[in-house]
Structure 1
């Protein structure tokens, strides 16, 4: 079967792997000149994810190709958190070591909330991560067996209200990994905290870009064709099947199509109406070269008023005092703040505002930098919304499935559909969702913790 995969981000590369292993002829169309999506970056600095979690997913994708997987090194502390009053909190995967960062009352609260996140994750993972998009029977089974653990009638803020101001802010932030406003997120998103705090944060040499390039090389050696600098402009559908993919470099025909584009871009290419729905947050980032070496690690600098940051974003304003995330490695730094999925009118001016805040709170000796605003991310993510539909409310927390209504020979994979955004989940989506018959990339594991 002749297959075309649209997009060479991690979900597209994983989809190509599955199709190749099933014996199909595969061509990947990529609008950029390199693979890896946002991992490609600027002068060796990523414009996208830098936190490596769930390394077993990446490792297994390489194993399926009989290729040497990358080497992962665990990072401890997972991240350094800095509060506006100067307090520093460094959580470790080892809980006893983390307790040394907390007072007695906080240590008890941290343990209780971490174990709750673990229980939520263990209850949800087989249905919402390591399985096909759940239908009503699977949702009912989950609800009967684990539903109460998910606190279905609570918001995340309500769940965390007793935690005290430091730990509440700390745990709220994990909902942003799904693109949510943490003050509107459902309580079930608390499970995300376990992925980082319980399963660990890792580093891979060269970052995600090196991982993507290694996959690209392996797939090429196995016969996959890559066509770069090719933007999909439309898809012709006849008899409920895609018969032609129209690009700025000519038309492509295929028996089977896998789109790893943003779901809304796929719908637009098919000439379908886009759903009217709330979108996730976007990001405003700087990729910086430094004068001095900085240690490898992740830093989160909280603002004076975390709630006000999200009030600004809800009002479609760039936050005046945002949470600032910084990843450093040698003379490179990736800096990110949350933003609404809208065009930033004066992105250079806002970048200067962020740099002034950094100068006060976490000084970096910046030699040069590049700016990426929501309108720049909008080239690959509809309206710049990095995770598609906002996961607010129980319905919002459910991701779209892998099919597009009325199109029989097309599958939709990637971060805007099941199981969600981020590199590991995008890989799971691409591999398992590339064909109608479900194939698991990783074995369903026993409960963690």
Structure 2
């Protein structure tokens, strides 16, 4: 095959698309505006500390392994990971804490012993999560929602009969309040709405599908850190003959008579048979597709939340902390009201701390820890972020000091900050939203851009801003769905 494909952007979906198309025989070129591959899934070095800059949770590792298998490689020779014994450590201000063990029965016992929530309720909730996954994953995660054969096959017809049990007609919070007796467990399971930047008090209970991935299947950690997902796939793509052009911003997708013909880069026209856009869909239409018909309804959808991340080198080891740690707000509902309705930051935010040096010791100097300290915040709507960040930093430090009974400020040896404005500038994410459009209504899944253009032939889309959504597994699946469309 002598056909050529151009991919715009080397985020995780762009890398997966490059590998899949190369395996199919396409000559693939990737144009990336940054000097490095991976998009949000990158890393940074500050002093003697290494940080995974973006996504920190790894689930469904088979989606990564599948790319090596397609290329005829043995995955373990190129990418290694291990399953976590404890998925997350949870802390509350009243002194209570629990470990979310990878073993379901151990986790249920932990919850019953520490929080007074019957173990059977935990098992029932995770059984319900598995049920949702069984019936919705084949439909919403592995197929296009924009082709008729998705809706008229036997699997889909079987799911229609289960819709009432799949949480489509109620909110995540309402469903969790029915499942659990203890408010702390409702809060813990509501947290999964943040995995795609949504509000648990608005998003449908179908998102209770997410705990299944973390508990019933498992949470994992790449032995070389999350950035190794990027690095291993980038190396595989290069080995397959994919050509990467870094510091090469695409200025326009060239369209003639409603057919994508190529791209304009540095005032040079480069032609190809297929164009795959891995750039944020909203910003793509506003820039490189600005002369084409705009999908206004999709572009105007509310955006997901963003994040404020403080990368801290901490000059002390905290034995009570693990890889993933959550310090919960005392008033979760008010916190989400600030994020999605007020565009501000609540004075008592839920703080997430990711510490890869717990699993990968050379990520921090001896006796120290690398803290990826994050809170969920509104996307960028023109707020006074300098003031908000200053106030939030103080609130985060106060929260950590109260919960861990420490004085964290003197222990901060190095610091870098990532916030909605810089997220947008570094990753072209519209408004700095981490997951594209929000999922705060039952129709949100249908209001994501398709993996192809219905207006422009030979133009396809992948990545977190299009179907099936954000996060590493869904981004990888978007590339798979897109490549299967091309094959079809």
TM value normalised by structure 1: 0.92
Q: Is the 8 A contact 2:313 2:415 kept in 1?
A: yes
Residues 407 and 350 (structure 1), Cα distance of their counterparts in 2 relative to 1, 3 Å cut:
same
Deviation at 1:354, TM superposition (A): 2.0
Q: What's the counterpart of residue 147 of structure 1?
A: 163
2:36 counterpart SS class:
coil
1:434 counterpart SS class:
helix
> Does residue 289 of the first structure (1) align with residue 313 of the second (2)?
yes
Residues 212 and 309 (structure 1), Cα distance of their counterparts in 2 relative to 1, 3 Å cut:
same
Q: Is the 8 A contact 1:279 1:385 kept in 2?
A: yes
Count of aligned pairs: 439
Q: What's the counterpart of residue 389 of structure 1?
A: 437
Q: What's the counterpart of residue 369 of structure 1?
A: 415
Unaligned runs of 5+ in 2: 358-363, 365-369
**1:78-117 correspondence runs (5 A):** 78-103=87-112, 105-117=117-129
Q: What's the counterpart of residue 315 of structure 1?
A: 342
Deviation at 1:204, TM superposition (A): 0.5
Q: Is the 8 A contact 2:84 2:102 kept in 1?
A: no
Deviation at 1:96, TM superposition (A): 2.0
Q: CA separation in 2, counterparts of 1:144 and 1:75?
A: 35
> Does residue 127 of the first structure (1) align with residue 127 of the second (2)?
no
Q: CA separation in 1, counterparts of 2:68 and 2:21?
A: 14
Unaligned runs of 5+ in 1: 440-449
Deviation at 1:408, TM superposition (A): 0.5
Match of 1:345 among 381, 386, 405: 386
**1:298-447 correspondence runs (5 A):** 298-313=324-339, 314-330=341-357, 331=364, 332-342=370-380, 343=382, 344-346=385-387, 347-362=389-404, 363=406, 365-379=411-425, 380=427, 381-398=429-446, 399-434=448-483, 436-437=485-486
CA deviations 1:171-225 (Å, max 9, x no partner) are 1111111211111010111111111111111111222212211221222122111
**1:185-334 correspondence runs (5 A):** 185-248=203-266, 250-268=268-286, 269-271=288-290, 272-273=293-294, 274=296, 275-293=299-317, 296-313=322-339, 314-330=341-357, 331=364, 332-334=370-372
Q: CA separation in 1, counterparts of 2:193 and 2:137?
A: 16
Q: CA separation in 2, counterparts of 1:84 and 1:251?
A: 59
**1:30-109 correspondence runs (5 A):** 30-43=32-45, 44-67=50-73, 68-103=77-112, 105-109=117-121
RMSD: 2.0
Residues 438 and 207 (structure 1), Cα distance of their counterparts in 2 relative to 1, 3 Å cut:
farther
Q: CA separation in 1, counterparts of 2:338 and 2:117?
A: 32
1:101 counterpart SS class:
helix
Q: CA separation in 1, counterparts of 2:353 and 2:158?
A: 37
TM value normalised by structure 2: 0.85
Q: Is the 8 A contact 2:18 2:28 kept in 1?
A: yes
